[in-house]
């Protein structure tokens, strides 16, 4: 039977419970995503990541750690990373007298941010951060806002590539989001179902351009829970046209594709119908996603108490047996390719590493 572990789940607390271990041992589970609730200090985080790897060494440990308001770990030595808009502002503010030098400073700062971000996470055992944001800042989207580098897709692409270079130096892969672009719509897909009524030509020429320009640099991509009705009636993350025809076929992207969180409102309406987590996962995988995320279902205060995760695992097992979804060896290869290939420095060693110290000097 072809192996494929497409489910990225979460855990409730600071340590692994017996139930957590059982879930992580399931062959359909390929990793987990950490949140601030899973953080107390560096020692605890490092111990948690080691415990996860003892369950299964191939589990992909992920986190949303972009900088600015989306940074899960902010104390006990972790560098406070700037929002990506700060890097875009550095580029745009370059004085005319030395504009090229000022813009190069912005790219150096972006590389430094990527290196510091990746190296600090890896020193604690985290494998992947879902970054960078490639959305364009139109000044309308509160959920994107200063998470974006800027409005110009050329500047966004160059700064993102510089940041991804820093991640690469640290030994970490990357994830561009939210394909083909979330910045134009006002609605927040966490709570609403955003609709972008622009034409495919307009989106490809602007918002989606960074994905084409960076197709050899991106390790993975996360599509938006946004409907683009002039292209497809389904949100991008459930659309084979967006993922297979455009992202992979037209743009030549060959890396992994993650769904965004299936618990978001934008993920629960497909073809005009509200669907279950299992139905959403099957739809995303059949549309071209390699992995699907189900977040905030194992929180200590959740009335479900993680039952949604168990229901998803059970539902995906049944879907596989019924033939509604079939595992793909290529998807599993893409998942495993995101695991770090080099050993990480321990925290104390990282603190005195010359490259790390030099990168801190470049932080905006």
Q: Which residues are catalytic?
A: 190, 260
Report the C-alpha gap between 122 and 265 in whole angstroms: 32
Q: Which residues pair with 67 in a beta bridge?
A: 70
Contacting residues for 176 by C-beta, under 8 A, at least 6 apart: 132, 133, 134, 160, 210, 211, 214, 218, 220, 221, 222
Q: What is the 8-class DSSP label of residue 140?
A: -
Which two three-digit tokens encode residue 205? Answer: 């020429």
What is the sign of the dihedral through the CA atoms of 111, 114, 119 and 122? negative
Instruction: State residue 98 phi and psi, 5-degree precision.
Output: -140, 45
Residue 64: both structure tokens together:
């949303």
| Angle CA 297–300–304, to nearest 5 | 45
Q: What's the CA gap between 158 and 90, in Å, rounded?
A: 13
Within a 10 A sphere around the Cβ of 334, how many other Cβ atoms?
A: 18
CA angle 247, 252, 256 (to 5 degrees): 65
Nearest to 181 by CA among 129, 217, 216, 143: 143
Q: How far is CA 321 from CA 174, 279, 315, 317, 325, in A?
A: 33, 14, 10, 6, 8
Residue whose token pair is 């743009």? 251
Q: Is 305 left (phi over 0), alpha (psi -120 to 50) or beta?
A: left
Distance CA 92, CA 87 (A): 9
CB of 259 within 8 A of CB of 223? Answer: yes
């Amino acid at each position: 039977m072809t192996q494929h572990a497409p489910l990225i789940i979460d855990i409730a607390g600071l340590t692994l419970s017996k139930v957590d271990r059982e879930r992580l041992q399931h062959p359909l589970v390929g990793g987990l995503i950490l949140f601030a609730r899973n953080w107390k200090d560096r020692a605890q985080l490092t111990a948690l990541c080691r415990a996860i790897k003892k369950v299964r060494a191939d589990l992909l440990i992920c986190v949303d750690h972009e900088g600015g308001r989306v940074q899960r770990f902010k104390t006990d030595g972790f560098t406070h990373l700037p929002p990506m808009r700060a890097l875009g502002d550095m580029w745009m503010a370059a004085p005319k007298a030395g504009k090229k030098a000022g813009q190069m400073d912005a790219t150096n700062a972006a590389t430094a941010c990527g290196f510091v971000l990746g190296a600090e996470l890896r020193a604690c055992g985290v494998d992947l951060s879902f970054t960078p944001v490639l959305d364009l800042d139109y000044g309308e989207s509160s959920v994107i806002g200063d998470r974006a580098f800027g409005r110009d897709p050329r500047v966004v692409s160059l700064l993102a590539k510089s940041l991804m270079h820093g991640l690469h130096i640290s030994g970490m892969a990357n994830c561009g989001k939210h394909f083909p672009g979330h910045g134009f719509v006002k609605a927040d897909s966490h709570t609403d179902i955003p609709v972008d009524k622009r034409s495919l030509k307009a989106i490809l020429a602007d918002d989606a351009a960074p994905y084409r320009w960076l197709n050899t640099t991106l390790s993975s991509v996360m599509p938006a829970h946004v409907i683009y009705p002039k292209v497809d009636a389904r949100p991008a993350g459930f659309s084979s046209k967006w993922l297979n025809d455009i992202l992979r076929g037209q743009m030549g992207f060959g890396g992994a594709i993650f769904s965004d969180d299936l618990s978001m409102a934008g993920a629960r309406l497909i073809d005009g119908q509200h669907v279950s987590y299992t139905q959403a996962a099957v739809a995303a995988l059949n549309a071209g996603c390699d992995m699907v995320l189900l977040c905030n279902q194992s929180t200590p205060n959740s009335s479900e108490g993680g039952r949604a995760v168990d229901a998803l695992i059970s539902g995906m097992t049944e879907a596989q047996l019924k033939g509604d979804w079939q595992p793909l060896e290529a998807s599993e290869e893409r998942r495993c390719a995101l695991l770090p290939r080099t050993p990480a420095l321990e925290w104390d060693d990282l603190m005195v590493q010359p490259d790390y110290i030099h990168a801190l000097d470049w932080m905006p």
